[in-house]
Amino acid sequence: MRVKRKRRTEMSQKIDAEGIREPLRTHPELAEAWVHEVPEAGQLSTAKLRFGHARLTRGTVPLLWGLRIHVLLMIFLISVQIWRPCAPAGEGRAADVFSAEESHV
Amino acid sequence: METRPKESAGPPPEKHPPLEGLHGTVSLPADARQEGPQIATEDRKRAKDRRRVILHRTGGGRRSWMLLWLLIGPGILVMLGENDGPSMISYAQTGATYGVGFFLPFIALTFGMAYVVQEMTVRLGAATKRGHAELIYARFGRFWGFFAMADLVLGNLLTLVTEFIAVRAGLGFFGVPPALAVLSGLLVVMAVVLTRRYWTWERITMAFAVFNLVFVPVAFMAHPVSSQVVHAFLTWRPLPGGVNAQFILLVMADIGATVTPWMLFFQQSAVVDKGLTTADIRHGRIDTALGAGIAAIAAIATVLAVTPLFTHQVAASSFQGAEFAQALVPFVGKVGATLFAIGIFEAGLVAAITISSSSAYAFGEVMGSPHSLNSSLREGWPFYAVLVAAAGISAFLVLIPHAPLVFIVLIVNVIATLAMPPAILFLLLLVNDREIMGEHANTRLANFLGIGVTVLLVLAGLVYGITTVFPHILPSQ
């Protein structure tokens, strides 16, 4: 208990040493200023670091085209998986999937 | 004071003059409030957290432990969130089918791979102070930004359904009616989220996540033969049934599910929301390694807990959550089975909290609206609305009578594995982008490991996705 209190006192002194507490007490307006002081650059939600578009290298361009093809493949595979059980003659899969006993997970 | 990150892109934001020297008697700068950028509620709360970190940064001994305590969170949550309801069931099914053998060291390896990937999100978040979706949008344009967000939100919505199924199953073991179980889970998610304080949210969720370790006592109650366990870790054997198409598919599915898209988005956003900086990257790594270690222990314990089913040749391939707990009663007793059911409930609940948060983060990052668990309800209402809607819609789907839940569970895996390549490739591109990462960009070793793991994850995911949709490709399917 005493150790905890001592630590709090130490921390409290450190806050004073950093010149944070007293200005806050005497000038509540400075509360906002203190919030500017603590975070690093770019951490404030209203003052984020600005990043422009990436410069695409020779390697990146084909990679992004590969990704576009992947997205098409992905849409196709997911569509097939959704369409199969929904189709009227879904090779029995509709019955398998939709009427399967609800998962007991 | 901490070191400032190296800024290489864009103008540095305006900064208020230092307060040192203002102590006591100094006059108040007339334009103190107007000088810097506007302060939102989230900034005030984050600044409080950062002040505590700064105060504990200097000094060793107990202070360094306290600093670690202050900085851990995102890594542990993401790894234990990945040990979600379906994952724990999958580990249990693996244990009941293959017993003690190949899959014990293999599970540990998958968490090692997860660490390699997740560590990059820590550096990316700490160096850029931006979430994953936000960075994709800023660096690669509108199409990929919206694609990443829509892809994630849809995949998460379906994954959340499986988490609420786990919540229902876990509580079902105790006789809680399904509707009450799901609504209780939803209420807990909403209560935790609406604390409107990242720190509180993180600590409550971590307290829930600790229950992932309840599988460890159950594993001891199952009395596994320790020499067999050691042998398995040293030799990666035995492998009942040998290497066949079904085994390869299971390994592919496990590798493909090692890292899921929500994990990348969630950890990076959480690192940013927590306010980690480049000075905290070392602790971020420890946090991620701790999470991976704890999650691996819980996963391996789950496999060991159900090995009596393998030994006694109980057909458990179609077992689901509560059925495992019930089947384990003769082997681990009522207490062990109860712990197992609690573990399933916890796995679903923690994943529901983290996954719904990742959806809300991604939405806010791409739409440019406030996206912080520190936001007030007034400022961050779109963020909280998405979060609550994601959890609410999923819970509602679980409660619809005769809803095609089996179908949803199947399609979740396909969407997760297929959505992985874009997310992880953008991660690699961004973390190698020296313009935004500066000195924290990937080293050669990190690239070697990162690219190796990425290729493995992408190929395994693709094979799993294609063979799930076209099962006749594999002869033994």
What pLDDT score does A27 carry? Answer: 62
Reading the block at residue B241, the tokens are 């049934």
Helix (H) or strand (E) run with residue B3 in it: none
Does A57 contact chain B (CB < 8 Å)? no
CB B47 within 8 A of CB A35: yes
What pLDDT score does A12 carry? Answer: 61
Residue of chain A nearest B407, judged by CA positions: A97
pLDDT per residue over A65-84, tens digit each? 998 998 888 888 888 878 87
CB A70 within 8 A of CB A64: no
Nearest alpha carbon to residue B468 among B397, B416, B405: B416
Nearest alpha carbon to residue B106 among B306, B296, B316: B296
pLDDT per residue over B296-337, tens digit each? 999 999 999 999 999 888 887 777 667 899 999 999 999 999
For A85, which of B162, B407, B414 is closest by C-beta distance? Answer: B407
What pLDDT score does B230 carry? Answer: 96
Which of B11-15, B242-246, B442-446 bottoms out in mean pLDDT, i.e. has the lowest?
B11-15
What pLDDT score does B330 carry? Answer: 94
| Residue tagged 């290489």 (tokens) | B8
Q: Which of residues 21-50 of A touch B (CB under 8 A)?
A: 22-23, 26-27, 29-50
pLDDT per residue over B152-191, tens digit each? 999 999 899 999 999 999 999 999 999 999 999 999 999 9
A95 to chain B, closest Cα gap in Å: 11
Residue of chain B nearest A38, judged by CA positions: B47
Q: Which CATH class is domain B62-431+441-470?
A: mainly alpha
A43 to chain B, closest Cα gap in Å: 6
Report d(CA B424, CA B429) in Å as an integer.
9
* Alpha helix positions (H), B306-380: 307-311, 321-367
Nearest alpha carbon to residue B160 among B423, B421, B396: B396
* Residue ranges of domains in chain A: 1-52, 60-98
Does A69 contact chain B (CB < 8 Å)? no
What pLDDT score does B3 carry? Answer: 38
Indicate yes or no: CB of A67 within 8 angstroms of CB of B425: yes
pLDDT per residue over B217-227, tens digit each? 999 999 999 99
Number of A/B CB contacts below 8 angstroms equals 212
CB B362 within 8 A of CB B269: yes
* Residue ranges of domains in chain B: 62-431+441-470
Nearest alpha carbon to residue B151 among B257, B265, B252: B265
Tally of residues, chain B: 477
> What secondary structure does DSSP assign to B73-122, as a single string?
SHHHHHHHHHS-HHHHHHHHHHHHHH-SSTHHHHHHHHHHHHHHHHHHHH
Question: Considering only CB atoms, which chain A residues are within 8 Å of B465?
Answer: 74, 77
For A23, which of B19, B46, B425 is closest by C-beta distance? Answer: B19
Burial (Cβ within 10 Å: 0-12, 13-18, ≥19) of residue B471: exposed
How many distinct helices (H) and strands (E) make up chain B? 21, 0
B226 to chain A, closest Cα gap in Å: 30
Does A11 contact chain B (CB < 8 Å)? yes
Torsion sign (Cα): B155, B160, B165, B166: positive
pLDDT band at residue B5, thresholds of 50, 70 and 90? very low
> What does pTM read for this prediction?
0.85
Which of A54-58, A98-102, B83-87 bottoms out in mean pLDDT, i.e. has the lowest?
A98-102
What pLDDT score does B24 carry? Answer: 35
